[in-house]
A and B are shown apart, each in its own frame.
Chain A
Amino acid sequence: MEESQVAAIDEFHTQLSTNNSSPLVGKLKKLLYKRMLIGVNDSRYFLGVFHCIDKQGNIILQEAVEYRITSRSAPGLADQRCLGLILIPAACRSSCHVDCSIEEKMSLMSLS
């Protein structure tokens, strides 16, 4: 793909993403670049930097590491694997935690 075409795609999506005035979206933006731990429904966890999310709740993590429980009889042991950039579809996400300060946690809890 030509560089100009890549730039055009990026420009188009930048226009869609920056002008939302919802306070909730504003709070969500503040979670960007934070470490996020997402559980998926086959019991794996993915830890990475929160990079992007869309309306459907699909999340992209940067520098992601996969944690997989090695043995059901010894659940404290987990294999780790570096995966890089990953997309976690909303349908298979079972939990989502953010690494933050206690104040930020209180703020998040107030929403629920």
Chain B
Amino acid sequence: MATNHSGVQGGGDVYNSSPPHFIPPGDGCVWADASSLIDAACKDLQEGELVHGENFSLFAAMSALEIMDPKMDSGIENGYCTVEEAIEAGAAPVPLSFDRTVDLQRTIDVMDHLFSCEATWHKGSILAQTVFSCIYLLRLERTSPHPILNAYCRIMHATCNEVIKSISNARTHEEEDLFVMAYGLPLKDEDNERLHAFLHSVEETISRKLRACKAQPSSKKKQVEDVEPLQTNPELEEGYCRALLCRLRFRKYFDLTLRHIRNWQGKGQSMAHKYILTCLAELENMRKNEMFLKSQPHISCKDSPETSTTASGCKAIGFDATLNAKSLSPAPPRAAKIVGWHDALAYFEKLLHDFDILCSFSFDPILESILQFVVQFQKSKPDLVARAYLQLLLIQSGKLYGREFFHEVIARVLLLPDVAKDKAFHQNEFVVQLGQLLIVLLKILCTNSAWQRRKLGKTLQDWSVVSIQLELAYNREFGEAQNSSADEGLHAKVSKRLFLWAQEQTYWIASRFLQLGFELDLYSPWEYCMVYWYMSVVFVQLLEKIQLRSIANIDTTRQKGKKKRDNHAKDHSRDAIFSPSCLLLQCHVYLCEGLAMVLAALRNEGSAFKMPNTFNSEHERFIQHFELLLRAHLPEQISFSSFHESILHARVSDVVRCDYFKEIQRITTSLKGSFAEAPEKLLEIRQIEQVAERNRIALNVINQLGASDPSLRVSFELTHHPYFAVVVVKRS
């Protein structure tokens, strides 16, 4: 890093008591040195005593900017005023050293530090303070005489450009996120083929040097091939060649991954998968090479091993994060802490694994499968870049996968694919609105948990309004004749299925909204009772809507073919109501009801889990958590009173008698076969089984000991499932 400069030339020396001439005193006044008075007077003050005027307010003074605090003071002078000044002072020499071995060491350190800076940027810091704190990147043309550094810097430029474009297009960064801000930075497009050709030639040169050094025993003999070694020490040649090659190759294949992974049509996915595997292999090579780099004698100073941003452990030269503070970038003044090199390796490994999951996506046309895939993908907590590419996979140019209009998607959801060709259908105002809402929903589901929950809460209102309007329109047009035996017109069929699906989707969003509250740790244990109660209400409604929609889909089939036997149709209805998905959802209902009643019983019979009334009453907390759902009438006529009445008389013995958890175990036993091909569903079934079993046992223990037993210690822990707690009973 650049060293600090001290002193000011002319115009007022910092260590001189004369103020600078360009700051004149007032008319008829002079500048008088008050340092001595201040020092002497401060000795006479007591601790905590302040000297201030009558207009002083301590509360207002707390908002003062603290000078020299990097979090508040954006003007800290730290080293160089401009990039050119830094270069003139030798902060970023080219070559990095006239000793070729040292030059190589320092080049690798620059590469590693850039790698760490890139990970830091991806994790939410600003480009100007991370990747573009590199003076070599800020003045790329200076690196031309150094092909290795030049190649690496150019490919970094290209990769950063590509990532910024993708994130900007996807808009998965939050509004206030600084990720895409690149004001005043020399980012520009370069011909990709030319760049990769140059990178390839540099890689080939180093590969030849590696082959040459391996062809000869490590002695002082002259090499047979006419290949000039990278550096002067033959014993270190192989190690340095490998170190450079894996870094250059990683960069090359990472850039190729980013370009191909957006090309979902054709062979893009399979090519991206191939490049991802190569990137992972090169990252592994970088790890293997670490000990070699660490063991070399270094001239540069060493970082602490835990926080070092390079494999060698040395500080990289040619970086200064403060240079860009004076550019147009509206970066906050706080310095970005660059992640350590090992953390950067872990970050890129995870990113590549997340990309690989995207490469395995089957472009399933079924909406339910898409939603499940996105929810499952989010369980691994992907970072911003991976989520952006997920969104780009799903939605391009306002179409699903860039090829299907959303009215076609909706027609498929309604099990009426042919209706998509009907102009009246895709111009139907509700279909258009629902298409837009679906696009928004998919984009929201690709954001981070906190932003996702906030946006889901808002979109609930829109879905609820459309659902209600659809239902009213259907009832107005077709009355109560939903189950008539007469032939239903296509229009009636479409209207009915549309409103049933919209309702189901609304409750699906509501359930996701509530689940995310657990992931974000928004609920205290004494609020679990109301949360599980509301979740049970939402899950019951969701289950009902799914079953209604399934029946509606089958009913029309029955009427269409009059020769079909009613028994078959009844079988279909039963299959729909008791489909594996419905049964799994039923398990969710039982778990929520069981947990809500256990908590309610513990409150009623003992003093555990009573809500403390320090700041808010239970009613106020209820409104705070569920306001958005209540406003969207999800469901109708639900209120705090309904909750209060439901739990008022809960007793442990009654909960035991209801046997919620045993019922779950009975269902899950039959479910495993149905999800044999879906490992994530099997995992969830196992988790639910474990939660149910532990809770059943815990409930029996509480029942035997009595909830009011003062030695009983009950806690609720999310150890086996992300949002269904396990009851833990201890005796003190």
Contacts and interface: CB of A to CB of B under 8 A. Distances in A.
Number of chain B interface residues as a range: 35 or more
Q: Chain A CB within 10 Å — which of B6, B8, B32, B46 has the most?
A: B32
B37 interface: yes
A20 B48 CA distance: 12
Interface in B56-83: 56-61, 63-68, 75-78, 81
Contacts of B67: 40, 46, 86-89, 92
A111 B20 contact: no
Interface in B434-480: none
A98 to B, nearest CB: 5
B710 interface: no
Contacts of B42: 53-57
A57 B39 contact: yes
A32 B51 contact: yes
A72 B85 contact: yes
B8 A69 contact: yes
A99 B8 CA distance: 22
Interface string A61-105: 000001111111101111001011111110010111111111011
A95 B49 contact: no
A17 B38 contact: no
Given A51-B53, A85-B63, A37 B31 contact: yes
B53 A95 contact: no
Contacts of A68: 75, 77
A79 B52 CA distance: 29
Contact of B57 (A10, A20, A101, A105): A10
Given A16-B49, A85-B64, A44 B31 contact: no
A92 B28 contact: no
Contact of A96 (B12, B34, B75): B34
B65 A17 contact: no
Interface string B121-163: 0000000000000000000000000000000000000000000
Interface in B283-317: none
A43 B7 CA distance: 6
B22 interface: yes
Interface string A18-43: 00101011011101110111011111
B75 to A, nearest CB: 6
A31 B34 contact: yes
A25 B51 contact: yes
A28 B38 contact: yes
A57 B56 CA distance: 17
Contacts of B45: 20, 22, 25, 54-55
Interface in B1-34: 5-12, 14-17, 19-23, 25-26, 28-34
A112 B29 contact: no
A94 B14 contact: yes
B49 A17 contact: yes
B41 A47 contact: no
B59 A24 contact: no
Interface of B is mostly: loop
B19 A109 contact: no
Contacts of A40: 67-68
A92 B161 CA distance: 40
Nearest to B74: A81
B46 A16 contact: yes
Contacts of B25: 35, 99
B44 interface: yes
Given A109-B32, A111-B40, A52 B56 contact: yes
Given A28-B41, A78-B22, A108 B33 contact: yes
Contact of B14 (A16, A29, A39, A46): A39
A88 B38 CA distance: 14
Contacts of A9: 58-59
Interface in B301-358: none
A10 B32 CA distance: 31
A6 B9 contact: no
Contact of A100 (B7, B32, B64, B65): B32
B50 interface: yes
23 contacts: A17-B49, A24-B41, A27-B41, A28-B37, A33-B53, A36-B34, A37-B19, A43-B8, A45-B19, A57-B39, A57-B42, A60-B64, A72-B9, A75-B9, A76-B22, A81-B75, A85-B61, A85-B65, A95-B33, A96-B38, A99-B29, A109-B33, A112-B35
Q: Which 4 residue pairs spanning A and B have beta carbons closest together? A: A75-B11, A105-B32, A22-B44, A112-B36
Interface of A: 1, 6, 9-10, 13, 16-17, 20, 22, 24-25, 27-29, 31-33, 35-37, 39-47, 51-57, 59-60, 66-73, 75-78, 81, 83-89, 92, 94-102, 104-105, 108-109, 111-112
Given A31-B37, A72-B8, 5 more contacts: A44-B75, A51-B53, A52-B53, A96-B35, A111-B37
